[in-house]
Every structure is written in C-alpha cells, then in structure tokens.
Structure 1
Amino acid sequence: MALPNSAEHPQPLRIVVNATREWVDRLGPVWVEGQLIEIKRRAGATQFLTLRDTLAEVSVTISASAAVLDAAGPLTEGTVVAAWVKPTVWSKSGSLTFECRELRPTGEGRLLAAIEQRKRMLQAEGLFAPERKRRLPFLPRRIGLVTGAGSAAESDVLQNVARRWPAARFEIRHTLVQGPQAVEQILAALRELEADPEVEVVIVARGGGSLEDLLPFSDEALIRAVFAMRTPVVSAIGHESDTPILDLVADLRASTPTDAAKRVVPDAAEQAAGLAQTIGRGRRALLARIEGEQRRLAELRSRPVLREPSGAIDIQTERLGVLQHRLQRVVSGQLRAEAGELHQVLSRMRALSPQATLQRGYAIVAQGPQTITGVGQTAVGDALTVQLLDGRLAAEVTAVEPREPN
C-alpha cells in the first residue's frame, strides 16, 4: 500500500524503513549458490560472511550463527556453497542482509570441505608431526617409483635423475593415478616396494589435474599406509598449487616430479666439483702444515743446544766432577770421624773385658759352672778350675785361709 507523501508532507524515515522491512519479511527463504569471498569470525553468536555470485559481480552480506557455520564443516574463503537464506532489513541502518539458516559446500567446495575435515582429523592423530619424518638417504641404492604408465611425471623423474646421477637404479610400479581403482593399485605398489630391501626411498609422482583427479592422493587408507612405511616417501603430486594430504604425511614434499628428482639424488657434477675443492683445500692445508713444521724444525736446529749438543754434556760433566769431589771429601771426613770414635769405644770395651784382666796376671776360679768370688764358697778338698790367660788348671783346695777384716 503506497504511503501518501510529498515534498511538503514527507514520510518519516522510520516509517519507510519499517514498511520496507515488512515487505521484505513477506519473502520466504530461498536456496542460493555463491562463492564465499570473506568470512568474519568474531566472539559473538552471529558471524558475517560475504557471498558473491559465481559469474556476475554481485555480492551480499549474509549472517549466520556459529552453529550453522560449524555444521557446514571447515570452510575457507573461495569455497562455493549453497546457502538457505532469508532476506531481511535492519531497522537501525536500513541495510539489506540475508539471514543464513543452513550452509552446504557444493562442487569443489564440498570436496575441499571433506578433505579439510579429513586433514584435521589425521593431524590431530599426529600423522603430520615433523619429528616423525625420516631423512632421505644421500645416495639410495635403488629408487622406488609409483606413477602412471608412460606419464609425463615418469619421464620427468627418470630423465632428471639420470641427468644428475646416471648410475641411479629404479624399481618402477605403474598404477592408475586417478579414479576409483587408483588407491588400491597404489597401495599394492607401496607394499611391494616396502618389502624390497634394495629400495631406500619411494617417489609417488603424478602430473597436475583437477581436484577430483587428485582425490586418490587424499584418501585416508593411502595416508595411513604411507605413515606406517619404514621407507622414506617423497610426494610429487601435481604442481606447486596442488596440495593433497599425501604432501603432509610424506617424509618430503616435492613441488613437481622434476623437483622430486632433484631431491632424491645428488648432482654428480656438483659432487665432483665439491670433491675437487675438498681435495684442493686438503692439499693446501697439508702443505701449510708441512711448511709450518719445517719452520719449527729449523728454529729448533738453530738453538745452541742442538747446534752443539756436547756442550751441555760437558757442562754437566764438569758439574758432576765437582759434586763427586765434594762428596768424596765429605765421605772421607765422615769415615775418619767414625773410625776415631770406634777406636775409643774399642779401647773402653777392651779395658772392661775379662781378657784384659787375665793379661794383667789375674785368674778366674770356678767350681763347676759357678765362679768363686770368696773363700767362703769353698771347703778343703773341693775340686776347682783356674782360668788363666793361656789355659786352665785343675786344682784342689788344701787349706782355706779367710782374710781378717781391717
């Protein structure tokens, strides 16, 4: 119903905005398709998104609750979605917005959301942890290659590896690299290469393609099989912009099959040049060491002790002679002093010896083992032994004459 109005009698703005809102509210919800070009997440319950038409330059702002946004799965900017929206007008600003009641990824957006959800689940289990990734061998004995038969990826890997290291050997398994049968064939090829003790690294290679073509390389069974392998795995899928989940679980992600060839083998020319440089540095270091030692030897030979080695010996011989002469004088003096003291001790011992007493004409009288020191120890008729200087006498007591005390 039209509102009466004129320049003289204009309608209040609130009346016009409310009338517009009532008219828009009569419109029912509708499913629309568009591309998310902006996602504004905030702490509140209401989130705001910007949705643009997939062909024309037409974009609108839609509001959605956090529950609706979370239920749609992990969404990123650029995802194509189907949104069930109802138009509404905000009274305060008069702006037109669309209230989103349900949100679903469509086409590639649906696939991307499913891959993103799977990626988050596997990441939470630790399959992408950097600490579990294995280092590639410097020069593998044999390289396993899983790729499509006659593919450009196979040619790139083989040619670039041969260019860098001509002696490299391959163990190749041809499989489908897209479609529903691809995952099963790739898994079988990985099992065979894992069981081969000669294979020290495995490359999974394929050229670029659409999101649907690369789906096998985001398959959960394949990701878990690569995670469980003991042999290091290099993922070389598509181009730099292609990022299947295999890139995250592999021990090394190569941007292209050509890049994979550069990563798994060294460049023979670079290694030869590096070896030549190392040999040159070693030779220069050895010559410098020899020259340094020669200078040290010349300095040692120029010293007096090495110029006249006998000079030091002569000095020490002279010192030794002086010390020997000094020692002889000390020893001789000590011997004379000790000899004089010994003579005095012998003289004193001889003076106290019974032998000296006998030399002066005295005798030792004994009766059996007992020495007689007084006449009271004998009686007439006792047999005695008299010890003289030059022998013994056997005697008999014929009389005892005690001496009168003074």
Structure 2
Amino acid sequence: MTSPPVSSPENPLPVRSVATKVAGWIDRLGSIWVEGQLTQVSVRQGTRTAFLTLRDPAADMSLSVTCSPMLIQSSPVPVVEGARVVLYGKLSFFTGRGTISLRATEIRAIGVGELLARIERLRGMLAAEGLFDPRLKRPLPFLPRAVGLVTARASAAEKDVLSVARRRWPAVRFEVRNTPVQGPSAVPGILRAIAELDEHPDVDVIVLARGGGSVEDLLPFSDEALCRAVVAARTPIVSAIGHEPDSPLSDHVADVRAATPTDAAKRVVPDAEAELALVAELRARSSAALRGWVAREARGLDALRHRPVLADPMSGLDRRGEEIAEMRRVVRRDVRRAVASESTAVDHLRARLVTLGPAATLARGYAVVQRVVPGDDPEVLRSVADAPPGTQLRIRVADGSVTAVGMGRVAAPSNASERMDP
C-alpha cells in the first residue's frame, strides 16, 4: 500500500512547516567549499556582518554570502569586487525571509598560477572539441557595410579602432556596443553585445577590443561561455585583446587574431590611399601592357606587310609563270629531241629493212621462182630436182612476174661470178 501524501488540498502544510523542512534539508548539506567571483562587497562600519554576492563566471547564477567583517579585513589578499575566490562555509535557510545564504568562515583568493592552470585545462578541452580548427575560421569581408565594435566606454581601445579605421577608410560605419571588459559583469555584457551585433543585418564583422592588463583583468575573455559564443556566431569575429604577449582563449576561437586594437582596425577595413595607389598602379600596368601588346601587333602587321608575298602579290605568280614557261620550253625541247631521235632510228630501221627486204634483192636483178601447184599456193623452187620438165613456173622480178614451163635440168655455172649474174 502506498503511503498517504504528506499534504493534500484538504490537509495542506503551513508555511512554517515547509520552511522548517527546507531549513532541515539545507542544514544536512553541511559545510562546503564554493568557488566564484565576487560581484558585491558590502562592509558597513560598526556592523558585525558583511554581505557579499558570489557569482558563477560561466552562468548567470549568484549566491548571497555573509561573513564577519574581521574575516575580510584579515584576508591575506584584498577582497574586492571582481576577485575570484574560494569560500568555506555553511548554507543556511532563513525561514523568516525564505532566503538562502552562505555563512563563510574562510576566504581564499585564487592565485594567478591556479587561474593559468584552469585556463590551460579549458584550452585543452576546447582544442579537443575542435574549436581551434583553422577550417572553422571565416574570411573577413574586403569592405564591410558596418563594423561591430564591442569595447569599454571611452576606452583607449575604442579610440584606437575608430581613429585608425576612419583614417584608413573615411566612409566606414561602426556599430559600437560599450560593455564592461573586466569584472563580474563583463562576460554577460559581452555576450549580449555579440548576440545583438550578430543579428544586425548590416554588420559584416565584429571586433572585440580591449587594452592590456593582468591575467585577472583579461580573465573574462578566457571564459568558456564567451568562447563558445564566438564560435557559434554567424558573423566573423576579430579578437583584439591586450597586447602581443597576451593570449586569452578568445584569440584562439576567433576567426582572426589581432595583436592590438590598432592592428584589428587595419585588418577590418582596407587603406583607401593604398587601394587608390594600387588601382593607379594596376591601371598603369594595364595601360603599359596594352600599349606593349598594340606595339607588338603593329610590328607584326608591319612585318607581314613588308613580306614580298604581300608587298608584291603578283611577283610570286610571275615567278611561277616563268618557271612554268621554262618547264614547258624544256619539255618541248626534250619531246622534239626524243621525236627526232626516234625518227632517225625509224629511218635507219627502214633503210635496213629496205636493204634486207626481198624487193631490194629483186631490184638488183634477182628473181624468185615459184612452182605453180594446181589447187594450192605457189611454192618457192629451191632445187632443180623440184622442177621436172613441163612444170608450171611463176617467176617474180622487181616490176612484176612472168610464167614459164620448165625444160629440164641444165649445167651449173662454172664460177661464182657467173652464178651471181642475172
């Protein structure tokens, strides 16, 4: 079975019972050590109680603290607003007012060494998360429409940024947000300023500017919440905190780290005189390059124009015509020579044929004797034995032929000359 409720609409608890129970629960917590930043220290003369406010630097939370004024006066380090301290005490719930307060019995200041060690631990954690990765860095615009500036009111950093930027580019426009840059209210103020400028439609770059100072003075710019806000911002952020040796964590998470506020002003806007000089130089170089190109092309055209083929276009054709005429003359000469040579060879062959032919032999008095065979072509008579008496003969001489009848064999000539006479 479930236990009956402690209270009900019909049986409510009185305020004194609730307050007493809360006081009992808190009392059971016992004495504890608490770390924070002092945002208010109130010590009135002649009172036995000093009132302090202890704030968490990483969150908008605070705790009321009371202590003996002697505890503050005997502290080895000054207990002032903005100091980072560690308190030892016991929480108490005041039933009369319904408030919680820490009654401190010991106060210790956090030394510089401890602060630096904590910053290094936070640096390692942020680096492990990749918040220092160069690939996350956004480029700055060449000429921003407006520059957001987060700095202390009437500070040297504000004057340096404004004067240097306006001297370099007189038309530059600033959206200035003045906030505390040290102390307990610095981080919340800077966070609000960054959020406001990040939402501004005309702000293209934000500058966080502060002059130099001690480690404690620059501590807000190593705050974890501030570092994460810088990374989460959509607008590029330039960190110009302190001087060159100073290196708060905001320098590592920002898109651009400037050595000084003056250096930040030089980075966010161009130098008008330098840009005008660059434009003039580029125009001069462009004009010189164009003139050089035109001169080279003019020389090229002039060279082309003075080439023989363009200076006298018909000269090439004339030379080719002369070459063709010469070649035609040579061809005609060679053809005539070949024809004459072949004509001479033909004449020689003709003469040899005429000399060796039967007609020439007949012209010298010889005759060709043929035996006429009825029903067949005449046959050349080669021997007297082939022409018995009564053989029909056909005798061919130079100017014709005659027929004869063979009479039989006669005696052969006695000598060669006699044989050769017709």
TM-score (normalizing by structure 2)? 0.49
Alpha-carbon shift at residue 311 of structure 1 (Å)? 4.3
Alpha-carbon shift at residue 286 of structure 1 (Å)? 1.2
Letter matched to residue 195 of structure 1: E
**Contact 1:105–1:113 (Cα < 8 Å) also in 2:** no
Alpha-carbon shift at residue 310 of structure 1 (Å)? 3.9
Alpha-carbon shift at residue 320 of structure 1 (Å)? 11
How far, CA to CA, are the matches of 2:246 and 2:316 in structure 1?
84
Matched ranges for 1:100-249 at <5 A: 107-249=111-253
Q: Please state if 1:250 is matched with 2:263.
A: no
**Contact 1:146–1:204 (Cα < 8 Å) also in 2:** yes
Alignment match, 1:298: 302
How far, CA to CA, are the matches of 1:206 and 1:244 in structure 2?
11
**Contact 1:145–1:204 (Cα < 8 Å) also in 2:** yes
Letter matched to residue 285 of structure 2: R
Matched ranges for 1:297-376 at <5 A: 297-312=301-316
How far, CA to CA, are the matches of 2:322 and 2:186 in structure 1?
99
Alpha-carbon shift at residue 315 of structure 1 (Å)? 7.1
How far, CA to CA, are the matches of 1:205 and 1:197 in structure 2?
21
What is the percent sequence identity of the aligned residues? 59
How far, CA to CA, are the matches of 1:281 and 1:203 in structure 2?
36
For residue 248 of structure 2, give the secondary structure of its aligned residue in structure 1: coil
Alpha-carbon shift at residue 314 of structure 1 (Å)? 6.4
Superposed CA offset, 1:96-117 (max 9, x none): xxxxxxxx99511111111111
Relative to 1, partners in 2 of residues 1:145 and 1:106: Cα closer, same or farther, differing over 3 Å? Answer: closer
In the alignment, structure 1 segments of 5+ residues that lack a partner are 1-103, 322-406
How far, CA to CA, are the matches of 2:170 and 2:200 in structure 1?
22
- Greater gyration radius: 2
Letter matched to residue 263 of structure 2: D
For residue 158 of structure 1, give the secondary structure of its aligned residue in structure 2: helix
Relative to 1, partners in 2 of residues 1:170 and 1:106: Cα closer, same or farther, differing over 3 Å? Answer: closer
Letter matched to residue 272 of structure 1: L
How far, CA to CA, are the matches of 2:311 and 2:111 in structure 1?
96
Alpha-carbon shift at residue 240 of structure 1 (Å)? 1.5
Alpha-carbon shift at residue 236 of structure 1 (Å)? 0.6
How far, CA to CA, are the matches of 1:266 and 1:313 in structure 2?
66
How far, CA to CA, are the matches of 1:234 and 1:158 in structure 2?
15
For residue 243 of structure 2, give the secondary structure of its aligned residue in structure 1: coil
How far, CA to CA, are the matches of 1:320 and 1:127 in structure 2?
86
Alpha-carbon shift at residue 197 of structure 1 (Å)? 2.6
How far, CA to CA, are the matches of 2:117 and 2:109 in structure 1?
7
Alignment match, 1:370: none
Superposed CA offset, 1:151-183 (max 9, x none): 111000000001111111111111111112111
Alpha-carbon shift at residue 204 of structure 1 (Å)? 0.4
For residue 210 of structure 1, give the secondary structure of its aligned residue in structure 2: coil
Q: Please state if 1:282 is matched with 2:286.
A: yes
Alignment match, 1:269: 273
**Contact 1:227–1:250 (Cα < 8 Å) also in 2:** yes
Alpha-carbon shift at residue 295 of structure 1 (Å)? 0.8
Superposed CA offset, 1:65-106 (max 9, x none): xxxxxxxxxxxxxxxxxxxxxxxxxxxxxxxxxxxxxxx995
Alpha-carbon shift at residue 288 of structure 1 (Å)? 1.1
| Root-mean-square deviation over aligned CA pairs | 2.5
Letter matched to residue 274 of structure 1: L
Superposed CA offset, 1:216-241 (max 9, x none): 11111110011111211100111112
How many residues align? The count is 221
For residue 305 of structure 1, give the secondary structure of its aligned residue in structure 2: helix
Alignment match, 1:363: none
Alignment match, 2:66: none
Alpha-carbon shift at residue 309 of structure 1 (Å)? 2.7
How far, CA to CA, are the matches of 2:247 and 2:301 in structure 1?
66
Letter matched to residue 245 of structure 1: L
TM-score (normalizing by structure 1)? 0.51
Letter matched to residue 118 of structure 1: L
How far, CA to CA, are the matches of 2:275 and 2:261 in structure 1?
22
**Contact 1:147–1:177 (Cα < 8 Å) also in 2:** yes
**Contact 1:146–1:174 (Cα < 8 Å) also in 2:** yes
Matched ranges for 1:4-15 at <5 A: none
For residue 177 of structure 2, give the secondary structure of its aligned residue in structure 1: strand
Superposed CA offset, 1:244-288 (max 9, x none): 110110111111111111111111111111221111111111111
